[in-house]
Structure 1
Amino acid sequence: EAPQGEVETAIASIWAEVLQLDRVGRHDNFFELGGHSLLAVTVIDRMRAAGLESDVRRIFATPTVAGLSVSLGRDEATVVVPPNLIPAGCQQITPAMLPMVSLTQEQIARIVAAVPGGHVNVQDIYPLAPLQEGILFHHRMAAANDPYLQHAIFTFDTEARLHGFVAALQAVVRRHDILRTSVAWEGLPEPVQVVWRDAPIAIEQTAIDPAAGDAVHQLRDRFHAGQHRLDLQQAPLLRGIVTEDTGDGRWALLILFHHMVLDHTTLEIVQQEVQMQLLGRGEELARPKAFREFVGQARLGMSRQSHEAFFRRMLGTVEEPTAPYGLMDVQGDGSAIAQAQRA
Protein backbone atom coordinates (compact mmCIF):
# COMPACT_ATOMS: atom_id res chain seq x y z
CA GLU A 1 0.00 0.00 0.00
CA ALA A 2 1.35 3.41 -0.95
CA PRO A 3 2.24 5.96 1.76
CA GLN A 4 -0.49 8.39 2.75
CA GLY A 5 0.10 12.06 3.49
CA GLU A 6 3.22 14.19 3.47
CA VAL A 7 4.87 12.65 6.54
CA GLU A 8 4.50 9.04 5.39
CA THR A 9 5.66 9.98 1.90
CA ALA A 10 8.75 11.71 3.32
CA ILE A 11 9.59 8.76 5.59
CA ALA A 12 9.08 6.24 2.77
CA SER A 13 11.33 8.29 0.49
CA ILE A 14 14.10 8.37 3.10
CA TRP A 15 13.82 4.62 3.73
CA ALA A 16 13.94 3.88 0.01
CA GLU A 17 17.06 6.03 -0.37
CA VAL A 18 18.88 4.54 2.61
CA LEU A 19 17.88 0.95 1.82
CA GLN A 20 18.45 1.48 -1.92
CA LEU A 21 14.94 0.37 -2.89
CA ASP A 22 12.69 1.64 -5.66
CA ARG A 23 9.73 2.13 -3.34
CA VAL A 24 8.56 1.43 0.21
CA GLY A 25 4.97 0.73 1.26
CA ARG A 26 3.34 2.22 4.33
CA HIS A 27 3.15 -1.18 6.08
CA ASP A 28 6.60 -2.46 5.08
CA ASN A 29 8.84 -3.40 8.01
CA PHE A 30 12.17 -1.52 8.09
CA PHE A 31 14.13 -4.53 9.32
CA GLU A 32 12.46 -7.01 6.98
CA LEU A 33 13.50 -4.72 4.10
CA GLY A 34 17.14 -5.12 5.10
CA GLY A 35 17.48 -2.37 7.69
CA HIS A 36 19.62 -2.68 10.80
CA SER A 37 20.69 -0.54 13.73
CA LEU A 38 23.41 1.40 11.90
CA LEU A 39 21.10 2.19 9.00
CA ALA A 40 18.46 3.22 11.54
CA VAL A 41 20.84 5.93 12.77
CA THR A 42 21.26 7.13 9.18
CA VAL A 43 17.48 7.22 8.75
CA ILE A 44 17.07 9.30 11.91
CA ASP A 45 19.70 11.79 10.67
CA ARG A 46 17.91 12.13 7.30
CA MET A 47 14.54 12.51 9.03
CA ARG A 48 15.84 15.26 11.32
CA ALA A 49 17.34 17.05 8.32
CA ALA A 50 13.84 16.95 6.79
CA GLY A 51 12.30 18.40 9.95
CA LEU A 52 10.97 15.08 11.29
CA GLU A 53 12.23 14.73 14.85
CA SER A 54 12.59 11.12 16.02
CA ASP A 55 15.08 8.65 17.48
CA VAL A 56 16.27 5.08 16.96
CA ARG A 57 14.07 3.53 19.64
CA ARG A 58 10.95 4.64 17.73
CA ILE A 59 12.08 2.70 14.66
CA PHE A 60 12.49 -0.42 16.80
CA ALA A 61 9.12 0.15 18.49
CA THR A 62 7.22 1.08 15.29
CA PRO A 63 9.24 -0.28 12.34
CA THR A 64 6.70 0.56 9.60
CA VAL A 65 6.23 3.83 7.73
CA ALA A 66 2.68 4.19 9.01
CA GLY A 67 3.60 3.31 12.58
CA LEU A 68 6.59 5.62 12.68
CA SER A 69 4.52 8.44 11.22
CA VAL A 70 1.95 8.08 13.99
CA SER A 71 4.66 7.95 16.66
CA LEU A 72 6.00 11.33 15.56
CA GLY A 73 2.86 12.93 16.89
CA ARG A 74 3.29 11.51 20.36
CA ASP A 75 4.77 13.58 23.15
CA GLU A 76 7.80 11.41 23.90
CA ALA A 77 11.12 12.62 25.21
CA THR A 78 13.83 12.66 22.55
CA VAL A 79 17.05 10.94 23.52
CA VAL A 80 19.72 13.57 24.04
CA VAL A 81 23.24 12.18 23.85
CA PRO A 82 25.61 14.20 26.07
CA PRO A 83 28.49 15.87 24.19
CA ASN A 84 32.13 14.89 24.31
CA LEU A 85 33.78 17.10 26.93
CA ILE A 86 37.44 16.21 26.28
CA PRO A 87 39.05 19.22 24.57
CA ALA A 88 41.80 18.88 21.99
CA GLY A 89 45.24 18.95 23.60
CA CYS A 90 43.84 17.91 26.99
CA GLN A 91 46.64 17.11 29.43
CA GLN A 92 44.47 15.55 32.14
CA ILE A 93 41.19 13.74 31.53
CA THR A 94 38.89 13.81 34.56
CA PRO A 95 35.71 11.85 35.42
CA ALA A 96 33.61 14.99 34.82
CA MET A 97 34.67 14.95 31.15
CA LEU A 98 33.08 11.52 30.60
CA PRO A 99 29.29 11.95 30.83
CA MET A 100 28.47 8.54 29.32
CA VAL A 101 30.50 6.40 31.72
CA SER A 102 31.33 6.42 35.43
CA LEU A 103 35.07 6.04 36.03
CA THR A 104 37.44 7.04 38.82
CA GLN A 105 40.61 9.02 38.18
CA GLU A 106 42.63 5.88 38.82
CA GLN A 107 40.62 3.93 36.26
CA ILE A 108 41.05 6.71 33.69
CA ALA A 109 44.79 6.62 34.31
CA ARG A 110 44.79 2.86 33.65
CA ILE A 111 43.00 3.41 30.31
CA VAL A 112 45.20 6.31 29.22
CA ALA A 113 48.40 4.41 30.06
CA ALA A 114 47.61 1.95 27.24
CA VAL A 115 47.29 4.72 24.62
CA PRO A 116 50.46 5.95 22.88
CA GLY A 117 50.85 9.64 23.62
CA GLY A 118 48.74 9.49 26.76
CA HIS A 119 45.98 12.01 27.50
CA VAL A 120 46.56 14.20 24.44
CA ASN A 121 45.89 11.23 22.15
CA VAL A 122 42.55 10.31 23.77
CA GLN A 123 39.59 11.88 22.00
CA ASP A 124 36.76 10.19 23.86
CA ILE A 125 35.82 7.36 26.23
CA TYR A 126 32.36 5.80 26.37
CA PRO A 127 30.73 2.37 26.89
CA LEU A 128 30.21 -0.34 24.31
CA ALA A 129 27.00 -0.63 22.36
CA PRO A 130 24.95 -3.74 23.33
CA LEU A 131 26.03 -5.63 20.20
CA GLN A 132 29.68 -4.82 20.89
CA GLU A 133 29.34 -6.25 24.38
CA GLY A 134 28.39 -9.61 22.87
CA ILE A 135 31.29 -9.47 20.41
CA LEU A 136 33.75 -8.76 23.22
CA PHE A 137 32.34 -11.69 25.21
CA HIS A 138 33.00 -14.14 22.37
CA HIS A 139 36.43 -12.62 21.68
CA ARG A 140 37.48 -13.23 25.26
CA MET A 141 35.92 -16.69 25.38
CA ALA A 142 37.80 -17.84 22.27
CA ALA A 143 41.14 -19.22 23.46
CA ALA A 144 42.70 -19.19 19.98
CA ASN A 145 40.53 -18.43 16.97
CA ASP A 146 38.54 -15.20 17.16
CA PRO A 147 35.14 -15.74 15.49
CA TYR A 148 34.84 -12.01 14.78
CA LEU A 149 38.18 -11.51 13.05
CA GLN A 150 37.76 -11.10 9.29
CA HIS A 151 39.93 -10.26 6.29
CA ALA A 152 39.85 -8.67 2.86
CA ILE A 153 42.49 -8.90 0.10
CA PHE A 154 43.42 -6.26 -2.48
CA THR A 155 45.90 -6.57 -5.36
CA PHE A 156 47.85 -3.87 -7.18
CA ASP A 157 49.87 -3.82 -10.37
CA THR A 158 52.49 -1.42 -8.95
CA GLU A 159 54.00 -0.66 -5.55
CA ALA A 160 53.06 3.00 -6.00
CA ARG A 161 49.37 2.12 -6.23
CA LEU A 162 49.69 -0.03 -3.11
CA HIS A 163 51.16 2.89 -1.18
CA GLY A 164 48.46 5.19 -2.53
CA PHE A 165 45.75 2.81 -1.34
CA VAL A 166 47.28 2.57 2.15
CA ALA A 167 47.52 6.37 2.38
CA ALA A 168 43.87 6.70 1.31
CA LEU A 169 42.82 4.07 3.85
CA GLN A 170 44.67 5.96 6.59
CA ALA A 171 42.81 9.12 5.57
CA VAL A 172 39.51 7.26 5.99
CA VAL A 173 40.62 6.02 9.42
CA ARG A 174 41.30 9.65 10.41
CA ARG A 175 37.75 10.58 9.38
CA HIS A 176 35.88 7.99 11.45
CA ASP A 177 36.22 7.74 15.22
CA ILE A 178 35.06 4.10 15.25
CA LEU A 179 38.10 3.23 13.10
CA ARG A 180 40.39 4.84 15.69
CA THR A 181 38.83 2.97 18.58
CA SER A 182 40.31 0.45 21.01
CA VAL A 183 38.60 -1.43 23.83
CA ALA A 184 39.55 -1.47 27.51
CA TRP A 185 38.08 -3.68 30.22
CA GLU A 186 40.75 -4.78 32.70
CA GLY A 187 40.19 -3.31 36.16
CA LEU A 188 37.10 -1.37 35.02
CA PRO A 189 33.45 -1.59 36.18
CA GLU A 190 32.40 -2.17 32.56
CA PRO A 191 34.18 -2.36 29.19
CA VAL A 192 34.68 0.96 27.41
CA GLN A 193 35.81 2.01 23.97
CA VAL A 194 38.59 4.55 23.69
CA VAL A 195 38.78 6.82 20.66
CA TRP A 196 42.34 7.75 19.73
CA ARG A 197 43.08 11.02 17.96
CA ASP A 198 45.89 9.43 15.97
CA ALA A 199 45.89 5.71 15.14
CA PRO A 200 48.35 4.72 12.38
CA ILE A 201 47.62 1.48 10.55
CA ALA A 202 50.28 -1.16 11.18
CA ILE A 203 51.55 -2.52 7.85
CA GLU A 204 53.77 -5.60 7.84
CA GLN A 205 55.64 -6.84 4.79
CA THR A 206 56.21 -10.54 4.31
CA ALA A 207 57.91 -12.66 1.64
CA ILE A 208 56.26 -15.55 -0.17
CA ASP A 209 57.73 -18.45 -2.10
CA PRO A 210 57.29 -17.85 -5.88
CA ALA A 211 57.49 -21.60 -6.47
CA ALA A 212 54.62 -22.31 -4.06
CA GLY A 213 51.93 -20.85 -6.29
CA ASP A 214 49.67 -17.82 -6.30
CA ALA A 215 50.73 -15.05 -3.90
CA VAL A 216 47.17 -14.21 -2.88
CA HIS A 217 46.45 -17.83 -1.93
CA GLN A 218 49.67 -18.04 0.07
CA LEU A 219 48.89 -14.79 1.86
CA ARG A 220 45.38 -15.95 2.71
CA ASP A 221 46.61 -19.33 3.95
CA ARG A 222 49.39 -17.86 6.06
CA PHE A 223 47.36 -15.07 7.66
CA HIS A 224 43.95 -16.69 7.77
CA ALA A 225 41.70 -14.88 10.22
CA GLY A 226 41.10 -18.16 12.05
CA GLN A 227 44.78 -18.41 12.92
CA HIS A 228 45.39 -14.92 14.28
CA ARG A 229 44.08 -12.46 16.83
CA LEU A 230 44.07 -8.68 17.00
CA ASP A 231 44.81 -6.90 20.26
CA LEU A 232 41.54 -5.08 20.93
CA GLN A 233 43.34 -2.75 23.31
CA GLN A 234 45.31 -1.18 20.43
CA ALA A 235 43.73 0.99 17.73
CA PRO A 236 43.00 0.77 14.91
CA LEU A 237 41.41 -2.67 15.00
CA LEU A 238 42.77 -3.47 11.56
CA ARG A 239 46.20 -4.55 10.36
CA GLY A 240 47.77 -4.84 6.92
CA ILE A 241 50.10 -7.52 5.55
CA VAL A 242 51.81 -6.83 2.23
CA THR A 243 53.67 -9.16 -0.11
CA GLU A 244 55.15 -8.91 -3.58
CA ASP A 245 54.50 -11.54 -6.21
CA THR A 246 57.86 -11.47 -7.96
CA GLY A 247 56.53 -13.80 -10.63
CA ASP A 248 54.15 -11.31 -12.22
CA GLY A 249 55.12 -8.06 -10.48
CA ARG A 250 51.85 -7.73 -8.55
CA TRP A 251 51.51 -6.59 -4.95
CA ALA A 252 48.94 -8.02 -2.56
CA LEU A 253 47.56 -6.45 0.62
CA LEU A 254 45.63 -8.48 3.18
CA ILE A 255 43.66 -6.45 5.73
CA LEU A 256 42.74 -8.16 9.00
CA PHE A 257 39.90 -6.31 10.70
CA HIS A 258 37.65 -6.89 13.67
CA HIS A 259 33.87 -6.99 13.61
CA MET A 260 33.94 -4.76 16.70
CA VAL A 261 34.47 -1.81 14.35
CA LEU A 262 33.78 -3.09 10.83
CA ASP A 263 31.13 -5.27 9.23
CA HIS A 264 30.12 -5.94 5.63
CA THR A 265 28.12 -2.72 5.31
CA THR A 266 30.74 -0.45 6.85
CA LEU A 267 33.50 -2.16 4.85
CA GLU A 268 31.67 -1.14 1.68
CA ILE A 269 31.52 2.45 2.98
CA VAL A 270 35.26 2.38 3.72
CA GLN A 271 36.00 1.11 0.20
CA GLN A 272 33.84 3.84 -1.32
CA GLU A 273 35.60 6.52 0.71
CA VAL A 274 39.03 5.11 -0.17
CA GLN A 275 38.05 5.41 -3.83
CA MET A 276 37.02 9.03 -3.30
CA GLN A 277 40.35 9.75 -1.60
CA LEU A 278 42.26 8.15 -4.48
CA LEU A 279 40.33 10.32 -6.95
CA GLY A 280 41.28 13.44 -4.99
CA ARG A 281 37.66 14.04 -3.98
CA GLY A 282 37.96 13.39 -0.26
CA GLU A 283 36.73 16.90 0.56
CA GLU A 284 33.39 16.06 -1.05
CA LEU A 285 32.63 13.40 1.55
CA ALA A 286 29.98 14.34 4.11
CA ARG A 287 31.09 14.85 7.68
CA PRO A 288 30.81 11.45 9.41
CA LYS A 289 28.44 10.90 12.28
CA ALA A 290 30.15 10.37 15.63
CA PHE A 291 29.79 6.74 16.75
CA ARG A 292 29.09 7.97 20.29
CA GLU A 293 25.71 9.15 18.97
CA PHE A 294 24.80 5.60 18.00
CA VAL A 295 26.02 4.26 21.35
CA GLY A 296 24.07 6.92 23.22
CA GLN A 297 20.87 6.19 21.30
CA ALA A 298 21.29 2.46 21.91
CA ARG A 299 22.03 2.74 25.62
CA LEU A 300 20.01 5.78 26.69
CA GLY A 301 17.01 5.36 24.42
CA MET A 302 15.83 2.15 26.04
CA SER A 303 16.70 0.38 29.28
CA ARG A 304 18.48 -2.98 29.40
CA GLN A 305 15.33 -4.43 30.94
CA SER A 306 13.32 -3.31 27.90
CA HIS A 307 15.82 -4.95 25.57
CA GLU A 308 15.61 -8.20 27.55
CA ALA A 309 11.82 -8.09 27.51
CA PHE A 310 11.82 -7.61 23.72
CA PHE A 311 14.01 -10.64 23.07
CA ARG A 312 12.10 -12.75 25.57
CA ARG A 313 8.97 -12.03 23.53
CA MET A 314 10.77 -12.77 20.26
CA LEU A 315 12.42 -15.99 21.47
CA GLY A 316 9.89 -17.11 24.03
CA THR A 317 8.87 -20.18 21.99
CA VAL A 318 12.45 -21.41 21.52
CA GLU A 319 12.91 -24.13 24.11
CA GLU A 320 16.12 -25.81 22.94
CA PRO A 321 19.23 -24.96 20.91
CA THR A 322 18.97 -25.24 17.14
CA ALA A 323 21.73 -26.37 14.80
CA PRO A 324 22.11 -27.09 11.07
CA TYR A 325 20.72 -30.55 10.29
CA GLY A 326 20.31 -31.09 14.00
CA LEU A 327 24.03 -31.81 14.43
CA MET A 328 24.97 -30.91 17.99
CA ASP A 329 28.02 -33.13 18.51
CA VAL A 330 30.49 -31.05 16.47
CA GLN A 331 34.21 -31.14 17.15
CA GLY A 332 36.26 -27.98 16.56
CA ASP A 333 35.09 -24.72 15.00
CA GLY A 334 35.17 -25.80 11.36
CA SER A 335 38.24 -23.78 10.44
CA ALA A 336 40.20 -26.93 9.52
CA ILE A 337 37.58 -28.21 7.08
CA ALA A 338 38.71 -27.94 3.47
CA GLN A 339 35.63 -29.60 1.99
CA ALA A 340 32.49 -31.06 3.53
CA GLN A 341 29.86 -33.23 1.89
CA ARG A 342 26.55 -34.56 3.13
CA ALA A 343 25.86 -38.12 2.00
Structure 2
Amino acid sequence: GKVDRRALPAPARSEPVGEREAPRTPQEAALAGIWAQALGRERVGIHDNFFDLGGDSILSIQVVSRAQQAGLWITPRDLFQHQTVATLAAVAGAAPVPSGGEDAAGDVPLTPVQRRFFAADLTGFHHFNQSLLLGLREPADPGRLEQALGRVVACHAALRCRFLLSPDGSWRQTVQPAAPGTEPPLAVCDLAALPPADRRGALEGAAASLQESLDPAGGPVLRATLFSLGGGEQRLFLAVHHLVIDGVS
Protein backbone atom coordinates (compact mmCIF):
# COMPACT_ATOMS: atom_id res chain seq x y z
CA GLY A 1 0.00 0.00 0.00
CA LYS A 2 0.91 3.66 -0.18
CA VAL A 3 2.76 5.39 2.64
CA ASP A 4 0.77 8.12 4.38
CA ARG A 5 3.49 10.76 4.47
CA ARG A 6 1.33 13.13 6.50
CA ALA A 7 1.26 10.59 9.33
CA LEU A 8 5.04 10.35 9.49
CA PRO A 9 6.77 12.26 12.31
CA ALA A 10 8.85 15.28 11.39
CA PRO A 11 12.49 14.32 10.87
CA ALA A 12 14.67 15.16 13.83
CA ARG A 13 17.45 17.63 13.24
CA SER A 14 20.77 16.06 14.03
CA GLU A 15 23.48 18.07 15.69
CA PRO A 16 26.71 18.26 13.68
CA VAL A 17 29.41 15.95 14.89
CA GLY A 18 32.63 17.50 16.16
CA GLU A 19 33.87 20.14 18.52
CA ARG A 20 32.27 23.55 18.15
CA GLU A 21 34.33 26.66 18.60
CA ALA A 22 32.70 29.06 21.04
CA PRO A 23 32.13 32.74 20.21
CA ARG A 24 35.13 34.99 20.77
CA THR A 25 33.50 38.42 20.54
CA PRO A 26 30.20 39.99 21.62
CA GLN A 27 29.13 40.13 17.96
CA GLU A 28 29.80 36.42 17.47
CA ALA A 29 27.99 35.59 20.72
CA ALA A 30 24.93 37.59 19.67
CA LEU A 31 24.80 36.01 16.21
CA ALA A 32 25.35 32.49 17.57
CA GLY A 33 22.44 32.94 19.95
CA ILE A 34 20.21 34.30 17.19
CA TRP A 35 21.11 31.40 14.89
CA ALA A 36 20.48 28.82 17.60
CA GLN A 37 17.05 30.28 18.32
CA ALA A 38 16.04 30.52 14.66
CA LEU A 39 17.36 27.05 13.78
CA GLY A 40 16.07 25.30 16.89
CA ARG A 41 19.57 24.32 17.98
CA GLU A 42 20.91 24.08 21.48
CA ARG A 43 24.02 25.95 20.43
CA VAL A 44 25.87 26.98 17.28
CA GLY A 45 29.61 27.08 16.69
CA ILE A 46 31.19 30.04 14.98
CA HIS A 47 32.32 27.89 12.03
CA ASP A 48 29.02 26.03 11.54
CA ASN A 49 27.39 26.70 8.17
CA PHE A 50 23.96 28.32 8.41
CA PHE A 51 22.48 26.32 5.55
CA ASP A 52 24.06 23.04 6.61
CA LEU A 53 22.26 23.50 9.93
CA GLY A 54 18.90 23.73 8.15
CA GLY A 55 18.77 27.42 7.35
CA ASP A 56 16.88 28.72 4.33
CA SER A 57 15.83 32.03 2.80
CA ILE A 58 12.86 32.43 5.15
CA LEU A 59 14.94 31.79 8.26
CA SER A 60 17.61 34.14 6.93
CA ILE A 61 15.09 37.00 7.00
CA GLN A 62 14.28 36.18 10.63
CA VAL A 63 17.98 36.13 11.49
CA VAL A 64 18.58 39.49 9.80
CA SER A 65 15.63 41.08 11.61
CA ARG A 66 16.72 39.78 15.02
CA ALA A 67 20.32 40.81 14.40
CA GLN A 68 19.27 44.35 13.55
CA GLN A 69 17.15 44.48 16.69
CA ALA A 70 20.27 43.46 18.61
CA GLY A 71 22.22 46.33 17.06
CA LEU A 72 24.03 44.40 14.30
CA TRP A 73 23.45 45.62 10.76
CA ILE A 74 23.44 42.77 8.24
CA THR A 75 21.41 42.02 5.14
CA PRO A 76 20.10 38.74 3.67
CA ARG A 77 22.80 39.03 1.00
CA ASP A 78 25.45 39.23 3.72
CA LEU A 79 24.16 35.99 5.20
CA PHE A 80 24.24 34.22 1.84
CA GLN A 81 27.79 35.41 1.20
CA HIS A 82 29.08 34.82 4.75
CA GLN A 83 27.50 31.59 5.93
CA THR A 84 29.23 31.14 9.29
CA VAL A 85 28.96 33.17 12.46
CA ALA A 86 32.66 34.05 12.32
CA THR A 87 32.60 35.44 8.79
CA LEU A 88 29.23 37.16 9.21
CA ALA A 89 30.29 38.87 12.45
CA ALA A 90 33.33 40.22 10.63
CA VAL A 91 31.18 42.16 8.16
CA ALA A 92 28.34 43.12 10.51
CA GLY A 93 28.15 46.84 11.14
CA ALA A 94 26.45 48.88 13.81
CA ALA A 95 22.72 49.37 13.35
CA PRO A 96 22.02 52.55 11.36
CA VAL A 97 20.73 55.72 12.92
CA PRO A 98 16.91 55.79 12.88
CA SER A 99 15.35 57.88 10.13
CA GLY A 100 13.99 60.40 12.61
CA GLY A 101 15.47 62.38 15.45
CA GLU A 102 17.24 65.67 15.94
CA ASP A 103 20.23 63.90 17.54
CA ALA A 104 20.87 61.75 14.47
CA ALA A 105 24.13 62.65 12.73
CA GLY A 106 27.14 60.98 11.15
CA ASP A 107 27.70 58.15 8.68
CA VAL A 108 25.01 55.49 8.25
CA PRO A 109 25.03 52.40 5.98
CA LEU A 110 23.39 52.59 2.59
CA THR A 111 20.10 50.73 2.34
CA PRO A 112 19.76 47.96 -0.28
CA VAL A 113 17.63 50.28 -2.44
CA GLN A 114 20.25 53.02 -2.23
CA ARG A 115 22.98 50.53 -3.18
CA ARG A 116 21.01 49.47 -6.25
CA PHE A 117 20.47 53.11 -7.17
CA PHE A 118 24.20 53.84 -7.24
CA ALA A 119 25.02 50.49 -8.89
CA ALA A 120 22.79 51.51 -11.81
CA ASP A 121 25.26 54.35 -12.54
CA LEU A 122 22.52 56.69 -13.72
CA THR A 123 23.35 59.92 -15.51
CA GLY A 124 21.89 63.08 -14.04
CA PHE A 125 20.82 61.15 -10.96
CA HIS A 126 20.30 64.39 -9.02
CA HIS A 127 17.02 64.81 -10.92
CA PHE A 128 15.45 61.56 -9.65
CA ASN A 129 12.86 62.71 -7.14
CA GLN A 130 9.30 62.60 -5.97
CA SER A 131 7.33 65.82 -6.06
CA LEU A 132 3.99 67.04 -4.82
CA LEU A 133 1.95 70.15 -5.66
CA LEU A 134 -0.51 71.06 -2.92
CA GLY A 135 -3.41 73.47 -3.12
CA LEU A 136 -3.84 75.42 0.13
CA ARG A 137 -7.31 75.99 1.53
CA GLU A 138 -6.25 79.19 3.25
CA PRO A 139 -3.39 81.61 2.54
CA ALA A 140 -0.21 80.53 4.32
CA ASP A 141 2.27 82.86 5.95
CA PRO A 142 5.66 82.16 4.29
CA GLY A 143 7.61 82.75 7.50
CA ARG A 144 5.57 80.32 9.57
CA LEU A 145 5.54 77.78 6.75
CA GLU A 146 9.32 77.98 6.53
CA GLN A 147 9.59 77.37 10.29
CA ALA A 148 7.31 74.33 9.99
CA LEU A 149 9.40 72.88 7.17
CA GLY A 150 12.52 73.48 9.23
CA ARG A 151 11.05 71.44 12.07
CA VAL A 152 10.22 68.61 9.66
CA VAL A 153 13.83 68.55 8.44
CA ALA A 154 15.14 68.66 12.02
CA CYS A 155 12.95 65.73 13.08
CA HIS A 156 13.65 63.51 10.07
CA ALA A 157 17.32 62.66 9.62
CA ALA A 158 16.75 61.29 6.11
CA LEU A 159 16.05 64.84 4.92
CA ARG A 160 19.52 65.87 6.11
CA CYS A 161 21.37 63.08 4.30
CA ARG A 162 24.29 63.69 1.97
CA PHE A 163 25.80 61.11 -0.39
CA LEU A 164 29.53 61.29 -0.98
CA LEU A 165 31.75 59.41 -3.43
CA SER A 166 34.75 57.86 -1.67
CA PRO A 167 38.21 57.68 -3.28
CA ASP A 168 37.74 53.94 -3.83
CA GLY A 169 34.64 54.60 -5.94
CA SER A 170 32.08 53.54 -3.32
CA TRP A 171 29.29 55.76 -2.05
CA ARG A 172 28.68 56.59 1.59
CA GLN A 173 25.77 58.26 3.33
CA THR A 174 26.14 60.81 6.10
CA VAL A 175 23.55 62.72 8.11
CA GLN A 176 24.16 66.36 8.86
CA PRO A 177 23.39 67.60 12.38
CA ALA A 178 20.05 69.33 12.84
CA ALA A 179 20.87 73.03 12.85
CA PRO A 180 19.53 76.26 11.37
CA GLY A 181 20.59 76.57 7.77
CA THR A 182 20.81 72.81 7.19
CA GLU A 183 18.38 73.25 4.30
CA PRO A 184 17.75 76.33 2.13
CA PRO A 185 14.83 78.56 3.11
CA LEU A 186 11.42 78.28 1.57
CA ALA A 187 11.32 79.99 -1.83
CA VAL A 188 8.40 82.25 -2.68
CA CYS A 189 7.34 82.77 -6.29
CA ASP A 190 4.71 85.39 -7.09
CA LEU A 191 2.94 84.66 -10.37
CA ALA A 192 -0.01 86.96 -9.75
CA ALA A 193 1.23 89.59 -12.22
CA LEU A 194 1.19 87.12 -15.11
CA PRO A 195 -1.88 86.66 -17.31
CA PRO A 196 -3.95 83.73 -15.99
CA ALA A 197 -3.25 81.72 -19.15
CA ASP A 198 0.51 81.95 -18.54
CA ARG A 199 0.59 81.04 -14.87
CA ARG A 200 0.41 77.28 -15.28
CA GLY A 201 3.33 77.18 -17.70
CA ALA A 202 5.39 79.45 -15.45
CA LEU A 203 4.63 77.27 -12.42
CA GLU A 204 5.59 74.08 -14.26
CA GLY A 205 8.83 75.65 -15.49
CA ALA A 206 9.77 76.83 -12.00
CA ALA A 207 8.92 73.41 -10.55
CA ALA A 208 11.13 71.66 -13.11
CA SER A 209 14.05 73.96 -12.26
CA LEU A 210 13.48 73.23 -8.58
CA GLN A 211 13.68 69.48 -9.20
CA GLU A 212 16.89 69.85 -11.17
CA SER A 213 18.48 71.80 -8.30
CA LEU A 214 18.41 68.85 -5.88
CA ASP A 215 21.97 67.90 -4.91
CA PRO A 216 22.46 64.60 -3.02
CA ALA A 217 26.15 65.38 -2.43
CA GLY A 218 26.14 68.99 -1.30
CA GLY A 219 22.48 69.39 -0.49
CA PRO A 220 19.69 69.96 -0.43
CA VAL A 221 17.69 66.76 -0.95
CA LEU A 222 14.48 68.71 -0.28
CA ARG A 223 13.20 71.80 -2.06
CA ALA A 224 10.04 73.78 -1.33
CA THR A 225 8.43 76.73 -3.10
CA LEU A 226 5.26 78.63 -2.26
CA PHE A 227 3.56 79.93 -5.42
CA SER A 228 1.17 82.88 -5.22
CA LEU A 229 -1.37 82.94 -8.05
CA GLY A 230 -3.31 86.04 -7.06
CA GLY A 231 -6.57 86.48 -5.21
CA GLY A 232 -5.19 84.68 -2.16
CA GLU A 233 -4.70 81.45 -4.14
CA GLN A 234 -1.47 79.58 -3.35
CA ARG A 235 0.27 76.34 -4.25
CA LEU A 236 3.01 74.62 -2.25
CA PHE A 237 5.45 72.59 -4.33
CA LEU A 238 7.69 70.01 -2.62
CA ALA A 239 10.44 67.94 -4.27
CA VAL A 240 12.47 65.30 -2.40
CA HIS A 241 15.27 63.20 -3.89
CA HIS A 242 14.43 59.53 -4.40
CA LEU A 243 17.44 58.45 -2.31
CA VAL A 244 15.61 59.52 0.85
CA ILE A 245 11.95 58.95 -0.02
CA ASP A 246 9.70 56.63 -2.00
CA GLY A 247 6.02 56.05 -2.45
CA VAL A 248 5.94 52.48 -1.14
CA SER A 249 7.85 51.98 2.10
TM-score normalised by L of structure 2: 0.51
Deviation at 1:227, TM superposition (A): 6.7
Contact 2:105-2:176 at 8 Å conserved across structures: yes
Deviation at 1:215, TM superposition (A): 4.2
1:203 is aligned to 186
| Higher helix residue share | 1
Structure 2 gap segments, 5+ residues each: 1-36, 39-55, 74-91, 95-102
CA offset digits 1:33-69 (Å, max 9, x no partner):
xxxxxxxxxxxxxxxxxxxx98xxxxx933xxxx89x
Q: Counterpart of 1:243 in 2: which secondary structure?
A: strand
1:252 is aligned to 235
2:99 is aligned to none
2:218 is aligned to 234
State whether structure 2 residue 50 is matched by structure 1 residue 61.
Answer: no
1:124 is aligned to 106
Contact 2:104-2:157 at 8 Å conserved across structures: no
Query: C-alpha root-mean-square deviation of aligned residues, in Å?
Result: 4.0
| Higher strand residue share | 2
Change (3 A) 1:123 1:217: same
2:197 is aligned to 213
State whether structure 2 residue 138 is matched by structure 1 residue 133.
Answer: no
- The 4+ residue runs of structure 1 with deviation greater than 4 A are 214-217
1:154 is aligned to 134
1:133 and 1:216 map into 2 onto residues whose CA distance is: 37
Deviation at 1:238, TM superposition (A): 0.6
Deviation at 1:100, TM superposition (A): 4.0
2:222 and 2:211 map into 1 onto residues whose CA distance is: 15
2:67 is aligned to 78
Change (3 A) 1:236 1:257: same
Contact 1:127-1:192 at 8 Å conserved across structures: yes
2:170 is aligned to 190
CA offset digits 1:156-213 (Å, max 9, x no partner):
33132x5444433322221121121111114255211111112234422234352043
2:214 and 2:174 map into 1 onto residues whose CA distance is: 16
2:93 and 2:156 map into 1 onto residues whose CA distance is: 19
Structure 1 gap segments, 5+ residues each: 1-52, 55-59, 84-98, 102-120, 267-343
Q: Counterpart of 1:78 in 2: which secondary structure?
A: helix
Q: Counterpart of 1:210 in 2: which secondary structure?
A: coil
Letter in 1 for 2:174: V
Letter in 2 for 1:263: D
Larger Cα Rg: Structure 1 or Structure 2? 2
Deviation at 1:229, TM superposition (A): 4.2
Contact 2:189-2:225 at 8 Å conserved across structures: yes
- 1:238-317 correspondence to structure 2 within 5 Å: 238-246=222-230, 248-265=231-248
